Amino acid sequence: MLRRLPSPGRGRRSGGFALIIVLWTLVLIAFIVAHLTASGRTEIRIASNLVANAVAEAAAEGAISEAIFNLSDPNPDQRWPIDGSARELVVGDSRVLVRLEDEAWRINPSSASPLLLEALLRAIGGDSDNARRLAAGIGEWSGAVAGARSQDAILADYRAAGLDYGPPGAPFETLDELGRVLGITPSVLAAMRPHLTLFGPAEPNPASPDPVVAAALADLPRVGPAGVSANQQQPDVLTVRITATGVGPAKARIMRAAIVRIGAALLPQGYTVLARGTNFD
């Protein structure tokens, strides 16, 4: 009995179909490999960036600690000058730029007099009437001018403006809180912010290099010897803003800042860290 052989055409069609399946399988495998490779490279890049940022941040924190240690030196001649200039340190494999600024170069809205706040508002471009009104509002918010108006009268103004809150009569917790004072607009707050601090004395240092603060101080009467105010903090206690910008591997850049009160009377360490973060402006 004769067997029927498969036709050549059918074999060629089967072989071609199998080849297509193999080729599509190879394409799919290549795609999967490429995707995994790309994902792996992305994850490696992310991990590398995280490591670089961690190194830069650690270097910046280390530079802040070194600055505190230096400023606590009992020999004043060995301390770095607090002049706002940049000083470069090398911490491990990172470079760090450190700036030291006297917090008394800025105005403290929680304790500054209404006259000083009014002068600041004029110095940033406000008219006299508006500056006087806003300065009074800041003083009412912080309690610095308690008793000037009754609480009911103050609350009535806030209610008339459509606000469901009123001044707490307590020091500001953040500079952003100033934006809740009646009449303080975002543009006014943005103009004031670079010249403010929550950690300085009631009256800034007359030698402040900030031209706006200097202009605000220029019209105020002085108490005591020239250049010294009765409200100025003790000369043996400094409140310093330390800003450290670390540049680590792969040019990673991290900024850290601390506000530190330093003085021999501050036992047991000789200093107190008041705030620590990325920025206080």
Q: What is the rounded distance in angstroms from the CA atom of residue 128 to the CA atom of residue 137?
A: 14
Q: What stretches in the chain show pLDDT beneath 70? A: 1-19, 22-23, 26-27, 30-31, 34-41, 43-47, 146-147, 221-235, 281
- Kindly report whether the global pTM for this prediction surpasses the value 0.85: no
pLDDT for the residue numbered 99: 96
Is the previous residue joined to 168 through a cis bond, with omega within 30 degrees of 0?
no
The token pair at 141 is 């918010």
Tell me the domain boundaries of the chain. Answer: 46-105+234-277, 114-196
**Spatial strand order in the sheet of 253-262:** 86-91, 94-102, 238-247, 253-262, 271-277
pLDDT for the residue numbered 12: 55
Q: What is the rounded distance in angstroms from the CA atom of residue 131 to the CA atom of residue 128?
A: 5
Q: For tokens 């501050």, name the residue.
A: 266
Pair 156, 148: CB distance under 8 Å = no
Rg over CA atoms, the chain: 32
pLDDT for the residue numbered 175: 95
